[in-house]
Amino acid sequence: MRLTFAGAAGTVTGSCFFLETKGTKILVDCGMFQGLPELEVRNTEPFSFDPAQVDWLILTHGHLDHLGLVPRLVREGFQGRGICTVPTRDIAQVMLMDAARIQEEEEEGALYTVEDALDSLDRFSVLVEYGEEVELGRGITAKFHDAGHILGATFVEIKGEGKTLVFSGDLGNRGKPLVEDPVYPPKADALILESTYGDRFHPPLADSVEELRRVIVETLRNGGNVVIPSFALERTQEVLYILFWLWKERKIPRTKIFLDSPLATQATKIFERYTERFPEPARKIFRKKEDPFDFELLEYTLSKAASKKIAEEDGVIIIAGSGMCTGGRVLYHLRANLPRPESSIVFVGYQAEGTLGRAILDGAPEVEILGSLVPVRAGIWRIEGLSAHADQEVLVDWALHADPGQTFLVHGEPRALGALAARLADHGYSVHIAAWRETVEL
């Protein structure tokens, strides 16, 4: 077996791993690079493998940094079969169509079209459930397990040629309201492990909810707005769920809550179709016919006109994408609220190096938004306990259960990769930090 790290090596985004066996060629994820310009240029560079030779494409989940280049893969010759869970297939349709539409609007430098996106969705002919095993041919099998990251997310166990490989995909944090905890992996000869928060420990969810409540109460008391840049998938729905409970228990003032993201609105509709997959406390709420995605304070603003009208409001909560502030309607809300000391910007998700969100979080005194220099005077908050990624404690515990012969760290920035590598080495494990386009023999 040979494994090429075609993405997410030394950086967080662009997840893509090419596995060659004696008779089968498998691609695990085909994601888009995001953040720094020198990373994003990789989206246009030739793949480090021939798409036409790939027999199987496995999607671990529906985030763009794991599936965003699939239409380009298909356009450049992939004729194999795609495998993912049922919710991931639904999410992929929304995410890829939105990405294609944005690229068509930008015209120059478009990676693919809406037609390409539709063609790529047709490749996903094998839909699986957790615990299901699929024969890939020539004695190779793939088994899918709950990664606890977002709706439908998996980690993948690939067996063949006397070896067991485990690709973690993105692992979730524990104790989340809308996804179950990640299950433990089987014993692995080789573990390909994500490292997004390999250098951090998340606070308990209850502490993070209390911090969010405090920020909301103080900001609204001061007459400001609370702007929450949020990822369309999982994070937005989790924030809505938390706000619903805070309102229901009268822990936040009665105020308008705007979900100003057409993509997040579509994603929320998908979540409403799969409420039976939520942990029991959330399932119980939906069985009572209470809907945390459609309650009294919440307004969905689908049109551009409705979005612009939010600027007339004061003392409101605004949830908008993109989550790392690289585009979308959140830019207009940041431009309006960053200069206001009474307003607060609340980051509830990972901010990759080179993104606007990262610059604000790192304390930039001013930032460029939509061609204007905007002073940063608003309160800036990072609430880490809402992260959909496992922290160092969970990653190490999970990896120890795999008890791998070899561990390859991916999907992390250098500091996180180094910290996690050191922790695993302390436990006596052989750890290698993968380099982009590096090929290793397994």
Alpha-carbon gap, residue 181 to 147, rounded angstroms? 7
Instruction: Tell me which CATH homologous superfamily contains domain 2-200+388-441.
Output: Ribonuclease Z/Hydroxyacylglutathione hydrolase-like (3.60.15.10)
pLDDT of res. 110: 85
Does the domain spanning 205-386 belong to CATH 3.40.50.10890? Answer: yes
Task: State mean pLDDT over 157-169.
Answer: 97
Q: Tell me the pLDDT of the chain averaged across its residues.
A: 96
pLDDT in tens, 335-349: 999 999 999 999 998
Mean pLDDT of 166-190: 97
pLDDT for the residue 384: 87
Share of the chain above pLDDT 70, in %: 100
Give the residue carrying structure tokens 């805070």: 246
Please tell me the predicted confidence (pLDDT) of residue 107: 65
Token readout for 288 is: 């009572």
Domain extents in the chain: 2-200+388-441, 205-386
Q: How confident is the model at residue 420 (pLDDT cuts 50, 70, 90)?
A: very high
What are 378-398's pLDDT values in tens digits? 999 999 889 899 999 999 999
CA separation for the pair 257, 269 (Å, rounded) = 17
Residue entry with tokens 């940041």 = 334
User: pTM (2 decimals)?
Assistant: 0.94
More confidently predicted of 290 and 196: 196
Q: Which of 91-100, 107-116, 328-337 has the lowest mean pLDDT?
A: 107-116
Q: Measuring CA to CA, which residue among 21, 394, 436 is closest to residue 190?
A: 21
